[in-house]
Amino acid sequence: MDSLDQILPIAGPLLRRVDELLSGVGAPPDHEVWTQMRRVRLLAGDAVRAVATLRAGDLAEASPELRADAHAYAGIAESLPPPGTWTGEAADAYDAARQRAADHLSGGLESLDERLEATADLADALVEWMVQTRADLARTLAEVLSSTEAVSLSAASPIDPAASGDVIAAADVAERILRVVADSYELAADLLHGSAELATAVRA
């Protein structure tokens, strides 16, 4: 259990309050929350729950297995026996096929072991991203829970559509939460975009 798991139950009532106000009343047309909502396409509560589903531990187990497979491919490539004393056209054909197989398994930028290593690097980067994203969101939730906006949005009183102060407070809270989520997911998009050639190679 990390800091996000710990703070989610505490933040739940505030998130529900914020979402109720924004979905039922809206926000001032020029408020920055609209920009962040267009980036995330979710209300604050839904965005928080989406981040909460990120579990780095599941992906962390993949990297060692990928690196072990890469090492195994390199070992197979090294173990392919050369023709030795065998000579002639058949020996030459065998040696050419052996070299092609070895190059496919290991050594080059397009070899299987290099691609497995690159995939493991991506898995490690995504694990780091998940951990950081959850920590950043937990810190933001802690900040908004102690803010004056959170105090004014106490669930003790019913929602009043005419209470513009509450609407602005909800928009302010949502903007802070959604900005953190949007920024984090843009980082993930950059990671995946940078590794697009891995998926292309697999399809090829």
The 3-state DSSP class for residue 54 equals coil
Q: Count up the domains in the chain and report the number.
A: 1
110-166 per-position pLDDT tens digit: 778 888 888 888 889 999 999 999 999 999 999 999 999 998 887 556 666 555 788
- Residue 114 main-chain phi, psi, to 5 deg: -65, -40
Cα radius of gyration (the chain): 26
Name the token pair of 172: 């302010």
Is 46 a domain residue? yes
- CA-closest candidate to residue 163, choices 155, 173, 152: 152
Amino acid, single-letter form, for residue 87: T
C-alpha 34/C-alpha 28 separation (Å) is 9
Is 146 a domain residue? yes
Residue with tokens 């259990």, as numbered in its chain: 1
What residues have CB less than 8 Å from 90, skipping those under 6 apart?
A: none
Is 123 a domain residue? yes
Contact 13, 157 (CB under 8 A): no
Element housing 72 (H / E): helix 62-79
- CA-closest candidate to residue 202, choices 115, 76, 108, 82: 115
- CA-closest candidate to residue 181, choices 51, 13, 35: 51
Is 86 a domain residue? no
Is 161 a domain residue? yes
Residue 179: which domain range? 3-57+112-203
Is 76 a domain residue? no
C-alpha 204/C-alpha 183 separation (Å) is 33
pLDDT at 202: 44
- CA-closest candidate to residue 18, choices 200, 166, 181: 166
Is 198 a domain residue? yes
Is 67 a domain residue? no
Contact 104, 111 (CB under 8 A): yes
Q: How would you write the pLDDT of the chain (204 residues) with one tens digit per residue?
A: 899 999 999 999 999 999 999 998 889 999 999 999 999 999 999 999 999 999 888 788 888 888 888 888 888 888 888 888 777 888 888 888 888 887 788 877 677 888 888 888 888 999 999 999 999 999 999 999 999 999 888 755 666 655 578 899 999 999 999 999 999 999 999 888 877 666 554 444
pLDDT at 112: 83
Residue with tokens 């798991």, as numbered in its chain: 5
